[in-house]
């Protein structure tokens, strides 16, 4: 089996690369060992957002302040049917996209051999002028907490659940831990979050973290930072967990979720046989063009570490496709981040903390509490924060608030195009909208 390009992994990055290459005349084979769409579609981004949507619908079902009273119940079996229906529709769209673009899609597990060759688990061998590795990542466990997928769970186990746990200890206060804590608490679980570092969402500024923590606590979530957890024996009350900063000897939980990050999905990929190097953290080592240690073999997305985000993987795939076609790639690698907490967090560019080392930087905030649309939506939590250079150029934008994931695109464009706060302030934002907060924040800067 031969092709111009073989892509191993049909997630966000692999699919984007395959379609781009095929549309430019390359013969492309796309190989996937699980389901088309990868982790993001099947057990990550899309299922978690479906859970967050459902949980918010349930949690906000009654609001006497605005005149709504009603009752409802949770049926996770029915929810899972709806969720899997969404996933299957998207898988069908991906496969249809491959067919339309002329990409040959093969289900199977691939492993590499020397010299830009490999074989499937069926024994069929393949070769190509170029190979792209886009195999993604898998949940990372920690010592003392081995996944058993019934009591000690990964995020993928949570997203497949058909019963709401009575209580759960979430180890890890990053994006995955915070998102799952949010929807589990809204569905009625008693949630405890344990984070080893000094704050929840460690990569955000302190004011952003504080805003999220405040909302998590309003949901009844218990939070322990600068803390370590160890797993004890199973007792009458459930799984015993000792938290070193907690006065009790141990706490009992129905379930434990390990949300401490993800590792490269490279088991059985044959990297050693192909002479492909991995780094100290176990990710495939690549250069600035996503090339591995073997000429003609590239790696993209989660499997190379860094920002493990579907949109980053997509951009990687498009950039590598350009490289293979001999095109000087001009895709932007400015990466926006979103945490689907409640309220949401969205960031792009330099944080306030990072900007402190640059003389003359200015930071301004505008709070949604002053915005008419936020008042009308009965959700005035959060703010827009702009970090600007001394000359007014926008260096970073950070939003905490309702639908911030849908507001950050404007900020991304502003930074990419090197706009100043004066440029942003001059734009006419529609009224009443949440995006007005960006313009108001820009106008807070002096000329």
Domain boundaries, the chain: 2-139+263-324, 152-260, 343-443
Taken in order 296, 302, 308, 313, the sign of the CA dihedral is positive
CA 362 to chain centre: 29
CATH topology for 152-260 is FAD/NAD(P)-binding domain (3.50.50)
DSSP count for the chain of H helices, then E strands: 14, 22
Per-residue CA distances from 173 to 182, 207, 266 (Å): 11, 16, 26
pLDDT for the residue 247: 85
Measured distance CA(199)–CA(220) in Å, rounded: 18
Measured distance CA(326)–CA(337) in Å, rounded: 30
What residues does 223 pair with on adjacent strands?
193
pLDDT for the residue 329: 87
The answer to whether the bond into 343 is cis (omega within 30° of 0) is: yes
Catalytically annotated residues: 431
- The strand ranges marked E within 16-144 are 28-32, 104-107, 110-113, 117-120, 125-133, 137-139
Taken in order 265, 269, 274, 275, the sign of the CA dihedral is positive
CA 432 to chain centre: 30
Which residue has tokens 């299922």? 47
Which parts of the chain register pLDDT below 70?
62, 447
CATH architecture group of domain 2-139+263-324: 3-Layer(bba) Sandwich (3.50)
Q: ∠ CA 218-160-30 to the nearest 5 degrees? A: 120
**Structural contact between residues 180 and 266, judged by C-beta atoms closer than 8 angstroms:** no
Cross-sheet strand order for the sheet of 255-258: 152-153, 255-258, 167-171, 190-194, 222-224
CA dihedral 337, 341, 342, 343 (to 10 degrees): -20
Measured distance CA(112)–CA(202) in Å, rounded: 37
pLDDT for the residue 60: 86
Q: What is the pLDDT of residues 59-102, one digit of tens each?
A: 988 677 777 777 788 999 999 999 999 999 999 999 999 999 99
Per-residue CA distances from 425 to 33, 117, 224, 431 (Å): 49, 55, 40, 15
What three-state secondary structure class fits 395? strand
Residues 6+ apart with CB under 8 A from 368: 374, 379, 380, 381, 382, 383, 384, 401, 402, 434, 437
pLDDT for the residue 314: 97
Would you list the DSSP string of 191-255? EEEE-SSSSSSTTS-HHHHHHHHHHHHHTT-EEE-S--EEEEEEETTEEEEEETTSSSS-EEESE
Per-residue CA distances from 109 to 4, 122, 125, 440 (Å): 19, 8, 12, 52
DSSP state of 63: B
The answer to whether the bond into 432 is cis (omega within 30° of 0) is: yes
pLDDT for the residue 293: 97
Measured distance CA(149)–CA(151) in Å, rounded: 6
Measured distance CA(355)–CA(390) in Å, rounded: 11
CATH class of the structural domain 343-443 = alpha beta
Reference 3, options 132, 121, 95, 136; nearest CA is 132
Domain 2-139+263-324 matches domain 343-443 at the CATH topology level: no
pLDDT for the residue 248: 83
End-to-end CA distance of the chain: 64
Per-residue CA distances from 240 to 188, 223, 228, 235 (Å): 20, 17, 14, 6
Per-residue CA distances from 69 to 63, 183, 378 (Å): 6, 21, 16
């Amino acid at each position: 089996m031969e092709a111009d390009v073989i892509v191993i992994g049909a997630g966000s990055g692999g699919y984007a690369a395959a379609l781009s290459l095929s549309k430019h005349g390359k013969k492309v084979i796309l190989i996937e060992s699980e389901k088309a769409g990868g982790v993001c579609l099947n057990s990550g981004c899309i299922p978690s957002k479906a859970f967050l949507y459902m949980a918010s619908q349930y949690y906000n079902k009654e609001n006497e302040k605005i005149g709504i009273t009603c009752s409802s119940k949770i049926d996770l079996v029915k929810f899972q049917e709806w969720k899997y229906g969404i996933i299957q529709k998207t898988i069908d769209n991906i496969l249809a996209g491959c067919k339309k673009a002329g990409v040959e899609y093969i289900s199977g597990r691939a492993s590499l051999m020397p010299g830009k060759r490999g074989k499937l688990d069926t024994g069929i061998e393949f070769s190509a002028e170029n190979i792209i590795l886009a195999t993604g990542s898998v949940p990372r466990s920690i010592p003392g907490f081995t996944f058993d997928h019934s009591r000690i769970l990964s995020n993928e186990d949570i997203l497949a659940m058909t019963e709401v746990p009575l209580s759960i200890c979430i180890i890890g206060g990053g994006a995955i831990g915070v998102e799952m804590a949010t929807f589990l608490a809204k569905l009625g679980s008693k949630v405890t979050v344990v984070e080893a570092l000094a704050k929840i969402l460690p990569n955000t500024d302190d004011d952003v973290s504080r805003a999220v923590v405040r909302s998590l606590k309003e949901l009844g979530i218990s939070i322990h930072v600068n803390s370590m957890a160890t797993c004890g024996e199973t007792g009458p009350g459930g799984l015993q967990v000792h938290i070193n900063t907690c006065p009790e000897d141990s706490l009992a939980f129905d379930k434990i979720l390990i949300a401490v990050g993800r590792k490269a999905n490279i088991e059985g990929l044959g990297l050693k046989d192909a002479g492909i190097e991995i780094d100290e953290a176990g990710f495939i080592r690549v250069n600035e063009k996503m090339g591995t240690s073997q000429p003609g073999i590239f790696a993209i997305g989660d499997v190379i570490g860094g920002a493990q985000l579907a949109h980053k993987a997509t951009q990687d795939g498009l950039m590598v496709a350009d490289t293979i076609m001999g095109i000087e790639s001009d895709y932007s690698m400015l990466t926006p981040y979103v945490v689907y907490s409640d309220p949401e967090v969205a960031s792009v560019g330099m944080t306030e903390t990072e900007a402190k080392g640059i003389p003359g930087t200015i930071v301004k905030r505008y709070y949604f509490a002053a915005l008419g649309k936020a008042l009308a939506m009965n959700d005035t939590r959060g703010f827009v924060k702009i970090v600007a250079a001394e000359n007014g150029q926008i260096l970073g934008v950070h939003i905490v608030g309702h639908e911030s994931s849908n507001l950050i695109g404007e900020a991304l464009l502003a930074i990419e195009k090197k706009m100043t706060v004066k440029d942003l302030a001059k734009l006419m934002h529609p009224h009443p909208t949440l995006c007005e907060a960006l313009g108001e924040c820009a106008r807070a800067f002096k000329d």
